[in-house]
Structure 1
Amino acid sequence: MMLSLSLVAAIVLVFHLLGVVAALHAVMTVRTAPGAIAWAGSLVMMPYFTLIPYLILGSSSFAGYVNARRFNNDRLREVTHVMDAGERAARDASVVHAPTQACLRALPRLTGMPCLTNNAVRLLVNGEATFAAIFAAIAAARQMVIVQFFIVHDDDLGRQLERLLCERAAAGVKVYFLYDSIGSHALPGDYVKRLLAGGVEARAFATRRGFVNRFQLNFRNHRKLVVVDGECAFTGGHNVGNEYMGRKPPLAPWRDTHIEIRGSAVLDLQMVFAEDWFWAAREVPALLPPPAAPAGGMTCQVVPSGPADAQETCSLFFVEAIQAARWRVWITSPYFVPDEAVSAVLRLAVLRGVDVRILLPARPDHLVVFAASTLYAYQAICAGVQIYRYQPGFLHQKVILIDDEAAAVGSANLDNRSFRLNFELMVMTADRGFAASVTHMLEQDFAQARLIERNEYLGAPRLRKVAMHVATLFAPIL
């Protein structure tokens, strides 16, 4: 009996010692004070219940990613130096050193990437238009194809992509395929083996470098990017799967948006991919400069963000976009779990008289996130924000419209996971013609949406209200 008690005491002591060590790690690495306090307190008080969740969700170490970024950036400079004189001159001429649009002024320094003109951007509304354009571009590839998605399924759409990539690789095209190891957890190994056998360079993005991150489920690479021959690129909200084509009820029809980009910004998008590929494969992929001739007159700012950034790039990007609005800011997102900074700037925009509208889905795909979003939506409504719920199907697009001159499309959601936990990619555009196209698209979406009132929360059963408040406790990882 004494031995058993001594063993139990020893186990308890070990747990508490490990809890203290993990709590110190949390204090040193968790980026927000509330998150650090929550982890540290629970690890010290209840290490038996929180050590494993901390290993899975809380710990992060991106020193390796930052070091890889430095080395990769050196290699990228070498790559850009081999551009011919015409290509370098075109690149230099495309740089906008002093953007006039308020939403662009801070972004070059925030992202470390220049604001560039001489671009053309085209809206791709929903899956049919998006994948028709992507597959047509890949089928015409002559030199290189880059494909990166958070989720890839081995279904009709996924196999169509697989066949196309293998065909291009067999034709001598250099093909890179990068997928997230957690987002694509259901992707069978045979799918990747078929790509490798077909000559495709295929890798999984994982944050598991070193023992500390071995069990990590957070910090996913949520970017979606396709680049063909350095000439055109595609990014937005779509992943690869039948549901993104609206073929899987009950979330169908699926509402999403992608964009096609041509011009100087395509090289910056390749550089974003190069960082991720270097982390996954420890090699710099081949990069191709865009054609020297201007593709159009649009100004674009590529905005990559992630947990390896020195600052909270994604959250600051939303703050800058909302703060820049003079009379209108419309945002669409499948999730609404804003942090304090974004909540505050939304309220300030309303107080300035800005038309602030947020479009959310009416149907949930994640119940906990939907419950938390409902409570945050109620708080925003009380501050004067207009919240709409899209009725026909599931809304997954990530779009921001600022006044009548700027719009952003990409992969970032309006939630803490995108702000601080995921690697994301947005493209901010400054062009009145493109903003008019986005306005027309969103007006159609809002016409199929229902403006929600405070009663969505106030009229909910008491038990559901309790669930909403409990769900917000998980906001740091939603």
Structure 2
Amino acid sequence: MHFSMIDLGTLVLLIHLSGVVAAVHAVVYTRTSQGAIAWAVALVTMPYLTLVPYLFLGQSHFAGYIDARRSGNRQLRALADLPDGPADPDATGRATAALGDGATHAFDRLSGMPLLAGNRVSTLINGTQTFDAILAAIEGAKHYVLVQFFVVRDDRIGQRLKRALLGCAARGVRTYLLYDGIGSHDLSRRYIRELRAGGVVAHKFATRRFVNRFQLNFRNHRKLVVIDGERAFVGGHNVGDEYLGEKPPLSPWRDTHIDIAGPVVSSIQFVFVEDWFWATQRVPDLIRCNTVHDANMCCQAIITGPADEFETCSLFFVNAINSAQQRIWLTSPYFVPDEAVFTALKLAVMRGVDVRILIPARRDHLVVFSASTVHASEAVRAGVRMFRYQPGFLHQKVVLIDDIAAAVGSPNLDNRSFRLNFELTVLTIDRGFAAEVETMLLADFAESLPVGLDEFRRAPALKRAAMRVACLFSPIL
């Protein structure tokens, strides 16, 4: 008994020492001061609970990736045959003037992609519309199909996708599937074997180095489909029956995708090329989209990720909020903004901008939902109009700027999207499309309830304390 107590004491001491060492590592390597403080405090005070999560979530450097990505960027752009600039300078000049020279210049710098005219964009406002359109486009492909999702499940919609991809490959269409190794962790090996056996080239996006084997950070959160370099689909839907609203208690699921045709498709397919090259060290044989549509919408692919020189996703939201003169409406399943985004929201309110944010009334992650509740309460106190969507789970990621610009994509309003995930957003500067998005969001707000100042206050004291603790971990959620 005496020796077992000594052993126990030694174990406790080792755990606490490991916590201190990990805390020092967090302070040195975590990308933000808020995240460093959150990890350091948790590791020193609660090492029993946080050491293992830190192993999976704490590393903020993607070993070898940043240098490889930057050094190969120019070569990949040449291989992808990207346009060097706007095909219609007059149209893009008018769009730039409408949104503001400073804002559009910042978007150019953030994305590294040009603002391109001659596009057609339409909204797909639920899973049925989205997957009916995607699967029909895949079945009509003539040259190649690029499919990339964070989550792919082997369920009914997953089986429909598999049949469509196998049909493409059987017709001689080059067919590629890229899925995230963590987001699609439960995807069966048989599913991938059947695709490969049928001629589909399928790979997962994952860190390849041994030292990264435990990492859950740096996920590829993008959702995109490209057909023949002429048409693309981008948005918030993944491949799973829940996105069709078929899995209670979160159903009906509310999400948004967009259907895009025009020159910006070349920028979108470059996103796939870059990610595919990382996963396979090969580049697919693609063509540039040269089709210009009468709609003549100006679009820009906003590509963000942890390998960028700056924190481009956070800066995208800051720039969008700062560019608004009359209104900025945002929707997100998670509202855990960093200090820069929250400050931009408060300043927009002070400028007299109509700031509205739509978030879910139902939760899919308890800790994130708890932290979101605290942040929502603070936003309401600052004058932001917060709303909770009532019919089902809200998963869409949409930004509406005044009556001129709208963005639809994959990033959430949280640190994971801001700094740790690879994301894709398509910004459209066009009054007609902005009006379409406004109509869509007004219908969503009509099915929502405002968040009041008392939402957080009326919670039981113990629950409020738990929410505050969850909020402390906001920088690492």
Shorter-chain TM range is over 0.9
Residue 282 of structure 1 pairs with residue 281 of structure 2? yes
1:104 maps to which residue? 104
Alpha-carbon distance in structure 2 between the residues aligned to 1:383 and 1:41 = 28
1:115 maps to which residue? 115
1:344 maps to which residue? 343
* Deviation of 1:316 (Å): 0.7
Alpha-carbon distance in structure 2 between the residues aligned to 1:53 and 1:169 = 41
Percent same amino acid at aligned positions?
A: 59
Tell me, yes or no, if the aligned pair for 1:94 and 1:118 is still in contact at 8 Å. no
Pick closer, same or farther for the CA change 1:13–1:352 going to 2, 3 Å.
Answer: same
3-state SS of paired residue (2:356): strand
Deviation by residue 1:285-333 (Cα, 9 ceiling, x = unmatched): 2222002444631111211111111111111111111111111111111
1:175 maps to which residue? 175
* Deviation of 1:77 (Å): 3.7
- TM-score, L = length of structure 1: 0.92
Alpha-carbon distance in structure 1 between the residues aligned to 2:230 and 2:29 = 40
Deviation by residue 1:366-412 (Cα, 9 ceiling, x = unmatched): 12111111111111111111111111111111111111000000011
3-state SS of paired residue (2:226): strand
Tell me, yes or no, if the aligned pair for 2:80 and 2:273 is still in contact at 8 Å. no
Q: Which moved more, 1:16-25 or 1:288-297?
A: 16-25
Alpha-carbon distance in structure 1 between the residues aligned to 2:306 and 2:65 = 10
Q: For structure 2, list consecutive stretches of 5 or more residues without a partner in the other structure.
A: none
2:260 maps to which residue? 261
1:236 maps to which residue? 235
3-state SS of paired residue (1:309): coil
Tell me, yes or no, if the aligned pair for 2:76 and 2:274 is still in contact at 8 Å. no
Residue 465 of structure 1 pairs with residue 458 of structure 2? no
* Deviation of 1:48 (Å): 6.0
1:314 maps to which residue? 313
2:35 maps to which residue? 35
Tell me, yes or no, if the aligned pair for 1:262 and 1:295 is still in contact at 8 Å. no
Q: Which moved more, 1:57-66 or 1:39-48?
A: 39-48
Alpha-carbon distance in structure 1 between the residues aligned to 2:263 and 2:146 = 17
Q: How does 1:290-369 map to 2 (within 5 A)?
A: 290-294=289-293, 296-369=295-368
1:448 maps to which residue? 447
Q: What is the RMSD computed on CA atoms of the aligned residues?
A: 2.5
Pick closer, same or farther for the CA change 1:62–1:448 going to 2, 3 Å.
Answer: same
3-state SS of paired residue (1:99): helix
* Deviation of 1:469 (Å): 0.7
Q: How does 1:214-225 map to 2 (within 5 A)?
A: 214-225=213-224
Question: How many aligned residue pairs are there?
Answer: 473
3-state SS of paired residue (2:219): coil
Tell me, yes or no, if the aligned pair for 2:62 and 2:218 is still in contact at 8 Å. no
Tell me, yes or no, if the aligned pair for 1:360 and 1:390 is still in contact at 8 Å. yes
* Deviation of 1:78 (Å): 3.4
Alpha-carbon distance in structure 2 between the residues aligned to 1:265 and 1:297 = 11
Deviation by residue 1:49-92 (Cα, 9 ceiling, x = unmatched): 544322211013324222332354233243256x9xxx889858
3-state SS of paired residue (1:446): helix
Q: Which moved more, 1:280-289 or 1:177-186?
A: 280-289
3-state SS of paired residue (1:401): strand
Q: Which moved more, 1:161-170 or 1:26-35?
A: 26-35
1:384 maps to which residue? 383
1:186 maps to which residue? 186
Pick closer, same or farther for the CA change 1:46–1:167 going to 2, 3 Å.
Answer: same
Alpha-carbon distance in structure 2 between the residues aligned to 1:372 and 1:204 = 31
Tell me, yes or no, if the aligned pair for 2:231 and 2:260 is still in contact at 8 Å. yes
Q: How does 1:37-52 map to 2 (within 5 A)?
A: 37-40=37-40, 42-43=42-43, 50-52=50-52
Alpha-carbon distance in structure 2 between the residues aligned to 1:54 and 1:201 = 34
Q: Which moved more, 1:18-27 or 1:176-185?
A: 18-27
Q: For structure 1, list consecutive stretches of 5 or more residues without a partner in the other structure.
A: none
3-state SS of paired residue (2:124): strand
